[in-house]
Chains A and B, each alone.
Chain A
Amino acid sequence: MTDFPWLSVLIALPLVGAVAVALLPRGRDALAKQTAFAVSVVVAVLAVVMATGFDTGGARFQFTETHWWIKQFGVHWALGVDGVALVLVLLSVILVPLVILASWTDADRSGGVDVPPKRSVKTYFALILALEAAMVGVFAATDVFLFYVFFEAMLIPVYFIIGSYGGAQRSYAAVKFLLYSLFGGLLMLVSVIWLYPLSARPASKGGLGEGTFLFTELNTMHVDPTTAKWLFLGFFVAFAIKAPMVPVHTWLPDAAQQSPTGALVLIVGVLDKVGTYGMLRFCLELFPGAAKWATPVVLALAVVSVLYGAILAIGQVDLKRLVAYTSVSHFGFIVLGIFAMTTAGQSGAALYMVNHGFATGALFLLVGFMIVRRKSARISDFGGLQKKAPVLAGLFLVAGLAGLSLPGLSPFVSEFMVLSGTFTRYRVPAIIATAGVVLAAIYILWMYQRTMNGPAGEGTEGILDLSAREKWAVAPIIAVIVVMGFYPQPVLNVINPSVHHTLARLDRPDPRPDVTGNVAENGARP
């Protein structure tokens, strides 16, 4: 059982499904949807079964597979998951069937909510499945080259989804998304290529004696500080664009506004996590010295992201753009937690990635349902929806409260961990970032108030409550949010060992506050 290539299967299955769906005859749209849904459910079930076999006290990377892929470049088909990667894989594969369910009719009316030019429905679902394969691959890759391949391969389906099935400005948004990501990716490529000659150096000069891209070998390599800083920057810029952090976040609102809702859940919920996951995994572990060197700037950018994203979110008039800016703010928290380099901060950040995926996913899905009903995304076009659609309003409130990290819902736990973990080492950033929590209350509650309360807005007369399909798409996510809000321990148990590995590589033990409250930093820093 342990030899079963779980991860390869989890990558191959959606890919095969994608091809199968794409090859279905024209006009069999219903069959295409059913096939896609069935495949994604099977993948999700398989992943959960695999996850039950994960041993929290065992080796760091589990379910590993290592085969040569391109020997000439030292590249392996190397897969394996540690705790952080495992929970992110689970997040991806659980979201996909729900997204398919939620966007059952999205492709039918793509190209703007008003005039629907007919687009190929089966292609939409094939692209979602192809994206799923790349998402699992990117988190499961333990070879830096393979990671890069999945990192870039992910862009293509998303590009076509936004460009073909998005709103009026879809091609602008799609090209902007692709060019931002590609530019970051190519900078990372320079760093990836550079790793090869570094690892090929003889062991006496700090290399590994043989060119390789295996993460588990590269993270023991010594890189001289100047080179490490350049390499770190190559990776970091790519991940910052992906995450997205201020000032390279501007693609996200456009992509969010134009993208079909279902795909948007995957873009913000999962794709962007690749950025923060990459920082935690590659930036910190491959170049620990450079990461410490960059920490002040990164923390400053993270705090700016938290506040700037939140302030811009308050000012938005478009529902999807609003939620996109809240994500910029949340990603600021995640980066803060990662670069605080404390156990609580990094565990919190990893947990935050999962929680944010579910919470924002639910919020986006519900916003999408609202937009479909009103045929508009402008906040001012809504009002008084609570009376017409109580279930929609109730779920929207829960998802919104999760977004502002209300205690009892899962994001609270992670946000608290991030802030307290940051506070033990970097007080000022933690204190400033806390203001983001207050701003979150403003943007969420004000959005709720304008759309759900008050007198019924014009044009909202015929709005119906959620259908059974829509309820089934959102209910599991809400359930996860509530359960993990009260009992996050199982997930933390999975995450913690890998965070300890990262911190050990960074050589940064947690600071211990003394009686007076001053932070003792290994005796070196007051």
Chain B
Amino acid sequence: MNDLAKQSQGSVGNPLGIDFDTPALKRKRRVRALKDRLARWYVSIGGLAVLGAITLIFFYLAHVVLPMFQGAELQPQDAAQPAWLAEAGEPLLLAIEEQNQVAMRLAANGRIQFFALHDGSPLSSVELPLPAGAGVVAVGRDQPGSRRIALGLSNGTVLVLEHNYRVSYPDNVKTITPQVDFPFGAEPIPLDERGRALEHVALSLDGDSLLLAGAVGPELRLVRLTREENLLTGEVTVERQGIELPQIADPIRELLLDPRQRWLYVLNGRATADVFDLRQRRLNGRYPLLSGQREVTAAASLLGGISLLVGDSGGGIRQWFMVRDAEGNARLQAIRDFRLGDAAIRQILPEERRKGFLALDDAGRLGIFHSTAERTLLVEPVAEGPVLAALSPRASRLLVEDGGQLRRFVVDNPHPEISWRALWGKVWYENYDKPGYVWQSTSANTDFEPKLSLSPLAFGTLKAAFYAMLLAAPLAIAAAIYTAYFMAPRLRTKVKPAIELMEALPTVILGFFAGLFLAPFLENHLPGIFSLLLLVPLGILLAGYLWSRLPDALRLRVADGWEAALLIPVVLGVGWFALAISGHLENWLFGGNMRLWLSNELGIPFDQRNALVVGLAMGFAVIPNIYSIAEDAVFSVPKSLTFGSLALGATPWQTLTRVVILTASPGIFSALMIGMGRAVGETMIVLMATGNTPIMDANIFEGMRTLAANVAVEMPESEVGSSHYRVLFLAALVLLLFTFVMNTLAELIRQRLRSRYASL
């Protein structure tokens, strides 16, 4: 490097006698040197920054994806010991409202106390209108997310109430006013005619029809109340209807109703569930819930009311729901198990927005679980012994009453529904008859169970890539070999750019062409397409043979290496012929409609936009990628090798198959890998040429949904930061890693090959 600043060229000895050390020239040299250094810094920093920015993609995607796999966190807040708590009576129920500001506590003496969540200070209290001498013995809650409660009283009646919170803005300050409503009147509803205490109650409201269940010992009482409001007078009349069910022998431990009022689950005995079909008013079946000596200690229904969670004395929690068996009969099925510890499960708290739940055991241990993901997110002790707890509607706060203390916890559990198993494994979803791979990310209703299995998408991606490669690999490689090895150089300079121009074609154009032109065309010419596959090779061979039989005078006018040009009219002719006989074939073989024939005779479902269309269109997109790399590899096989082989008497074809292809095979392989990488990541073609249904079926006449297309479809509607959003990022990250690894391997193979050629 010339460091001009330090150089000094004395005027002495300078043959021209020019003084290079005048102050002006010195200054200029310094400025030039400075500029040089600045440029070096600028380019180095700039270059590194640009290269860093590119790697940012990977890190950013990973940064978005990672929080999904973290567990839950529990942060204890200051405990409150409000004065009112001392004489408030034995607690039956705790609850928190939506905004995490007001909490509620129901005591056995029939008093509801509302208090501020953050410090436990009392807000208001309501004395429930209990009949004289009666107390609350049982509490039943409606589905998670509703604030309806049924209280079983000691005189055999039930009081139905709702704790509601009104939000108002007096003087622009948000104020939450708690209140207690009685939607079915403040008068308790008699359930046991003999006035015995109700040990267990359950309720379910569907529209205007309320179903109340109560248990006295082994006896079951069931009543349906239908509320009708007179539109003119606003008067409410309640119609009452008793429901008779077969009685059971064992004492009842727990009652649960499903929200559609179809099933009544009666947990009785040690660990048995009697399921009653309320529509047909009969016993559906008796199911043993646990084996061994363990017994049921807690039960709750999950959000949506389809799943039952049963906690046992051994610290296990098992999820059950009704499934249809092979004969179409509904039966209760054990789905999956969770484990909290060794102590008996005391309380199960379902989340109100997700299919997750919390559980507390007798040792005061808390566990956070998610049903679909089969995930245990956290197990931590929160108390010394059994306590009563409440979970806020957004599952962000936990309130525990522990020996005259109100203890608060902040629950941070943003993505419980994601686990390795939920993403890739077979999952038994609610309402499904068997475990399966399902992608169904969103739905209209709130108690929806997100089905975030990437398996069908990954399968669809590979299926699309497979059919594309099926077309592209043989065509591209054969074309590459021919162009590099046999083709006349003058033709090669024309053909190579033409095929490489294919690479530049926007995929949206291929996709639209496939979806709007090819798909209906294929559907109408199915027999023609299949005969095309057969006839074109035959036609080419026939043309080749006939050409060799032509008189030399004619044959020798066309030099070797122009076969491809000669074949263009042949292929066109055969193609035209195949399509022209398509209709006749269809009439002759398939009764005029091959599509119907396929689905009726063979039972193969047929979509218009199917894997065949995708294979053709995406194959088309991949051909130039494979072609240009494979062609390079074959073309750069050292000429000395081929000449040597030819000189030893091998035919050109023998030289090709035994020398050239063998030498170039790593290059051809890397071309295939790059083609595969492109087919896997292609978005627009699949988006437009398939129906985008996430199914797992290798049938060529059905569509698929790929990872890339799924991202394009669902990303714009996905809520930022939600699990769905992060799963889509994960899909992108998977694509990035897959193609990056494929391309890197291909590149390394090529570099090795290049150095090997150089050494030959």
Determine if chain A interacts with chain B. no
Give A residues with C-beta under 8 Å from B.
none
